[in-house]
Structure 1
């Protein structure tokens, strides 16, 4: 190694290791290994440019070097299959993310779907400078050399990980839940140069001795600021050294090391392939990669490296590509950066440009930026020959820290601005607080050995002096400082860069005359009566509500249900805020109708689809797509799923869906669809078969059993007309042997409906429960069963009101008061939706005035105590009604205009108008007698 520019540095490190460690050992190997890595990277003929993601110093150094070197080829560490999307960046407002998306996967575990890879790009990043230079400079080629999106998941080790969501240094998983932080969703993020120690003890040591709270602050103070004004050689050597240090001190995790080395082998293999294919001189190229990968030790490193690495083929998964909006908060959340660090970096980038007067590269026509000229100042041939590498590292390491002078004007402006922002957010801040923030910032900077307060010092000072012990608004002071420093800037994908589906949505909603690309909520008013063309917009909005996350399209007025269409609607639309979700719909199809049909089919034909879910898909197909083709197909699928179910978990939802579909088709079509008739016929037999088991099964709730009975009793007339046998239901009820009190009450109600139990017998059983001290504690559960019975047998409402009233009237206070909370909670938790029917019946029976309550006698007290006398043998049954209910006949006679009264109490004489009515209409009297006898 003698004769290299770092010989002197090696000697100094050897002496330092011997002094501190007492002799040569592992410390010397590490220190000298760092210098070897730097020497190897500096000596590489193909210039390596190490970067750290979203580092203003890296972006500034990149802009400088590109204008000096004017390379003909730029190799960039980014997924190679994302290259076609980069030209669309000029149609967007940064930050945005390049996304690779796969909904239908082939070659990966099914539970990984959907697969999503994002690469966020901000203006204050070195990769954007390289992209803008390459795309807008004639004759320059941009080559992406990192593994493809498919290989990101091929080399993923998530099946072996338990607690670490990131598989390598450039990959992170989004976990943020706020609006900005959730823009990347659960996508895997790929970035250039995630430079952070993987050795936890090393990071803790650096933070403690650097007197900072988190890694972003340490990097800003000890790397970002010193490198901001350094020359190119110093910048490279320092970044090589940091990358080598973090790599050599990383834990020996076999999977992560393997992924890192495979990525480096992949990148160098791709670069050598390109050089061989094009004949480009390596001196005319620039390799932009993360500092962690710059000083690689793999055999494939360099243009003279070995060609022993074979890139594995991609899987059969079909990938789709697009641009999605990103934000500072999304980048911070995905890669574990401190909150506000990306915003502070953007502010630092602007200050660096103003201070150094470096002209950055920006894509021509880039939204949100000013147009700048990017003419190359010097042709590449005019550049002087590269000088031999010099040791700039030793001087950088020996130089004392540069203490920035205090910029009082800047700090004073910060202090005034944060007080103004705090007052707008409800804080009682004043001029005295601004002075306190100013002085405290200087004090904290001095305690942390720096002359100039950093944004992080200012943030701590603002929290201490303004927030104190309370936050009056929804934003705390720390968040206000982040907003003041640049805020959570959120990017936007332009119309031309949107997928066809997203553009189609905007075109179809154009009659609303709203700027739906803009973030925030827009109110849309649709009057379909005066403007019939808005009906098409209404259809689109209802489909968007079905497909997009909550809040993207929210109806304020109007509804869409089976058989109902609103003539006026009002919507709150936030399509700009949920632009990512709209873009990802474009990966599934070319129109909303196609995507909705695919999702409904996927739901209906899924391996875990339930009958209720398939019926919901049928309803959605009818509501949003119209026609009968898809609805009939999914209805047939519901019949298949019902035949395979062995539980009754979805019975309530099945009952509700079938009732709605039946009502819709009965009112809107002359005949029922064949699948509905088959479903009712099969459902009748299916639930009759499961009914005895459901009564005994402890896992089946009383609501589920009540829904089964509701299906059987509610669909009975249609089922019998389609050929079902009522005997099957009677046998199922006769075989039921419930043990739960609620299900027992439900069984009694079913027996009343079938006619095997009279109402008097049901009332007698309720009286027995109240009279027996042992059964009184279970009475609330019986009442819960009775309330659920109102679903299949709504005619029992008067019996349930009577049962509750008898409990309040007969139980002593010592029993009733402890029992009352149990009754209320039981009814609220188990039968809340049926309580209104019970309340309406109670309102009909009880007096409307409080004064009438004292003299009120419950109607069930008027019933005769003994059994009613039956008519004599051979006599018509209607004759017995006359002496028992003479008022009824009188009222009916008066209604029909008869004036004759009763001539004799002997009913055999059949005198008077009532007798004449009986003789003329015996069937009516017989039917009424049957009903009254049953009661």
Structure 2
């Protein structure tokens, strides 16, 4: 016998021996030729998973095929214990699923953390659940079947973050049963040869549809094989995955030892990736949890949110839900749902399975891997229904679609499926066909054809958490809003009309709505009529409420506190004591505390924090915001309180000294804008009387102004106005400087900057409004076009962006100054160009005011200059005095009386 013949005989004997020893020998021979590098390992993983004492049920999350196989297996086996790959400390939340409309997500949340980097806060773990997932079917079976226990065996949420790299993300979503390959080249290869666009379509075509009608052994072997393949072709290093698997097997062994349960009566539900684990027999020493206080609950989820979390194609979860419903009807199966056990159970709850021994394992992979999908009549009828329905939806959304388009979509769907190498058109083929046949150049409405296809196949279904499963805060919100008479759990937008004068009992509802407006997204609680500001009270309010649609946001507020007021208080305190907090943010928090909390002690605490932050600031970037907020707060307290609170007085005195100290530097620094310097002067001059009454020294302000040496033209103008307010410069002198600027050709190009400075000066000196109108008028009249035209748009945009509150002052003053009719323009003379002759007034000699003015002419002349009045001559007085005082001697009489002048 030749060597070749002997070799063939030896190989034949080896194959026959393998065939006797293992049912997978033929498959092993096929894989050896296609994947010699790891073919044996794949089959070994399958055999290992099938030989474990605890039955492993491999799944892909949100997979209809997995859910269908789970329903069939639960009815057949009826396990006593279900081990589930889910964070073990989420177990109490499972009971609350009874009160929910899926999809929802289990959530663990922690805002006060201990043992983790502070920048990670808040921590959150989210695990979404849909009805078409194997996990939900297992949960529903276990919770509603007497004598069945469900045990979550995956690492706790605390361990999830313990195992995260310290540079890792702070928000982690658990991907239960993720089967998207981590090997990019493999995915690209599969998509190319499968003639599909994305991974979700490949999975639906080559795994979901074939496995939907497969028997349990075939399903199980295929899923383990795929998990093993992805495990071996994925990125190097599975340390975290293997540690998770050791964790789960350690927990299962501990439970079996503690309860004495027979492993044959247990079912272990895990991702297919973990079903092919090589560490099933290894033990893990589990570290203790940190002191972080975790909060657990349910939040609404949606198909689109699940797709984003798991990196799936848009619409894929909706298509999976449609496949699930179709498969249930075709297979005449009733799924497990919480709240009642299925009437189609193979045997009563708690009874043993039909056979006490497991059937011998057979090779089901070979036939499955070589059998193409089959198109049956039910699918054709479904495709016809889709085509008719998409035309109806298209016409409702403005498309000019007809019956011919429905026929075209049907034929194109079959054509595309054939071109892509499949006999049965998938929902993805149908989508492409509908876009090709119906979509035009312009979308007539808000939805295009692809979006209409997603709606037809189920749309973006959004879950809802029932009232009994809501956290105390969410229930409290719904209870307190009951007097409105609306069903706020609905997902529609509802209009609430509140007449506070006719129904004062609705005031608490209005107050709560304003707090919700402060904390929730803008579309959740939107006021149509009414406002909430300091010093205002609404008599009637109108609201658009979408609380049911934003249920998730309200539930997440429940993780922060028991009442909505407590949550707002915690947020305001956290904002004020943040390392980036400023005096402006603290004043904002004070205002919110007054408007929403009505807690004087807490408001005073925030005010004291604002004083502390202001004293520690080394920049004046927030000076405009600080000025605006403290003005509003002081006006509020003067209107409602007999005296200012202690923190407000301290803020004024601290701010006066603080801005006096920083004023020379702010004038000199180029980084500090004219808006900030104007706001500083506004604070100093408008708060001056209050600050001086509280013990401040005006000399500090005078020294600060005199030490200022600005170079920028706008800041120079601000300094001139400060000199004017301090009495160091008269109105006539200020006007002369402006006229000199306009007459100097070397300075003319920078005149607009001076004008901008004068405009910003209105923040500190509103009485200068007539002068600013005069300055603008002179500039518009004398500046050349090449200077004026580029500057004018910039002036308008600057005023709109930085000083919108100053524009009405200028407009009103201009309205009083300039003629209201066009016919009066030609004869109009600006008041600053009029020359009023000096008046001669002879006051009665018997009046003390005449004697006072005659004795002190210099003082009253200075007062006249400060007031901007034209001089007058008083007979016998020997000097010029203010015309205003001469024309109104009774004022002088009053002053003389105060001074005890006889």
TM-score (ref. length: structure 1): 0.87
Alpha-carbon displacement from aligned partner over 1:213-263 (angstroms, at most 9, x marks no partner)? 1111101111111111111111100001000001100011x4xx2111111
Contact 1:406/1:452 (CA < 8 Å) preserved in 2?
Answer: no
Are positions 1:130 and 2:138 aligned together? yes
1:715-734, aligned counterparts within 5 Å? 715-734=687-706
**Helix, strand or coil: the match of 2:359?**
coil
Cα drift, residue 187 of structure 1: 4.6
**Helix, strand or coil: the match of 1:640?**
helix
Alpha-carbon displacement from aligned partner over 1:472-515 (angstroms, at most 9, x marks no partner)? 22211111100110111110000000011111111111000111
Q: What residue in structure 2 maps to residue 279 of structure 1?
A: 260
Q: What residue in structure 2 maps to residue 758 of structure 1?
A: 730
Contact 1:78/1:191 (CA < 8 Å) preserved in 2?
Answer: no
1:571-582, aligned counterparts within 5 Å? 571-582=543-554
**Helix, strand or coil: the match of 2:658?**
helix
Q: Give RMSD over aligned pairs.
A: 2.9
Are positions 1:71 and 2:79 aligned together? yes
Q: What residue in structure 1 maps to residue 505 of structure 2?
A: 533
Q: Between 395-404 and 103-112, report the one with greater CA deviation.
A: 395-404
Q: What residue in structure 2 maps to residue 604 of structure 1?
A: 576
Q: What residue in structure 1 maps to residue 245 of structure 2?
A: 264
Contact 2:117/2:166 (CA < 8 Å) preserved in 1?
Answer: no
Q: What residue in structure 2 maps to residue 562 of structure 1?
A: 534
Q: What residue in structure 1 maps to residue 269 of structure 2?
A: 288
Q: What residue in structure 1 maps to residue 892 of structure 2?
A: 923
Q: What residue in structure 2 maps to residue 840 of structure 1?
A: 812
Q: What residue in structure 2 maps to residue 889 of structure 1?
A: none
Alpha-carbon displacement from aligned partner over 1:195-229 (angstroms, at most 9, x marks no partner)? 11110010011001101011111011111111111
Cα drift, residue 907 of structure 1: 5.4
**Helix, strand or coil: the match of 1:555?**
strand
Tell me which of 147, 172, 191 is aligned to 1:188: 172
**Helix, strand or coil: the match of 2:775?**
helix
**Helix, strand or coil: the match of 2:441?**
coil
Tell me which of 376, 381, 385 is aligned to 2:347: 376
- Distance in 1 (CA, whole Å) between partners of 2:884 and 2:198 is 99
Q: What residue in structure 1 maps to residue 626 of structure 2?
A: 654
Q: What residue in structure 1 maps to residue 523 of structure 2?
A: 551
Return closer, same or farther for 1:879/1:134 CA change in 2, 3 Å cut-off. closer
Cα drift, residue 101 of structure 1: 0.5
Cα drift, residue 739 of structure 1: 1.8
**Helix, strand or coil: the match of 1:832?**
coil
Are positions 1:334 and 2:306 aligned together? no
- Distance in 2 (CA, whole Å) between partners of 1:115 and 1:602 is 16
- Distance in 2 (CA, whole Å) between partners of 1:502 and 1:798 is 56
Stretches of structure 1 that go unaligned for 5 or more consecutive residues are: 18-26, 166-185, 886-903, 928-935
Contact 1:227/1:235 (CA < 8 Å) preserved in 2?
Answer: yes
Are positions 1:364 and 2:348 aligned together? no
1:226-625, aligned counterparts within 5 Å? 226-252=210-236, 254=237, 257-298=238-279, 301=280, 305-307=281-283, 309-364=284-339, 376-377=347-348, 379-380=351-352, 382-404=354-376, 407-625=379-597
Alpha-carbon displacement from aligned partner over 1:570-599 (angstroms, at most 9, x marks no partner)? 111111111111111111111112112211
Contact 2:60/2:179 (CA < 8 Å) preserved in 1?
Answer: yes
Stretches of structure 2 that go unaligned for 5 or more consecutive residues are: 1-16, 842-849, 865-872, 897-902
- Distance in 2 (CA, whole Å) between partners of 1:390 and 1:708 is 86
Cα drift, residue 466 of structure 1: 1.3
- Paired residue total: 857
Q: What residue in structure 2 maps to residue 13 of structure 1?
A: 31
Contact 1:445/1:453 (CA < 8 Å) preserved in 2?
Answer: yes
TM-score (ref. length: structure 2): 0.91
- Distance in 2 (CA, whole Å) between partners of 1:321 and 1:538 is 30
Q: What residue in structure 1 maps to residue 740 of structure 2?
A: 768
Cα drift, residue 736 of structure 1: 1.0
Contact 1:801/1:842 (CA < 8 Å) preserved in 2?
Answer: yes
Contact 2:298/2:469 (CA < 8 Å) preserved in 1?
Answer: yes
Return closer, same or farther for 1:360/1:788 CA change in 2, 3 Å cut-off. same
Return closer, same or farther for 1:457/1:621 CA change in 2, 3 Å cut-off. same
**Helix, strand or coil: the match of 1:561?**
coil
Cα drift, residue 908 of structure 1: 6.9
- Distance in 2 (CA, whole Å) between partners of 1:684 and 1:40 is 79
Alpha-carbon displacement from aligned partner over 1:585-620 (angstroms, at most 9, x marks no partner)? 111111112112211211122222111111111111
Q: What residue in structure 2 maps to residue 893 of structure 1?
A: none
- Distance in 2 (CA, whole Å) between partners of 1:558 and 1:66 is 57
Contact 1:406/1:451 (CA < 8 Å) preserved in 2?
Answer: no
**Helix, strand or coil: the match of 2:38?**
helix
- Distance in 2 (CA, whole Å) between partners of 1:122 and 1:455 is 20
Q: Between 92-101 and 543-552, report the one with greater CA deviation.
A: 543-552
Contact 1:879/1:907 (CA < 8 Å) preserved in 2?
Answer: no
- Distance in 1 (CA, whole Å) between partners of 2:219 and 2:885 is 116
Alpha-carbon displacement from aligned partner over 1:811-849 (angstroms, at most 9, x marks no partner)? 344544444444444444443331221111111100000
Q: What residue in structure 1 maps to residue 612 of structure 2?
A: 640
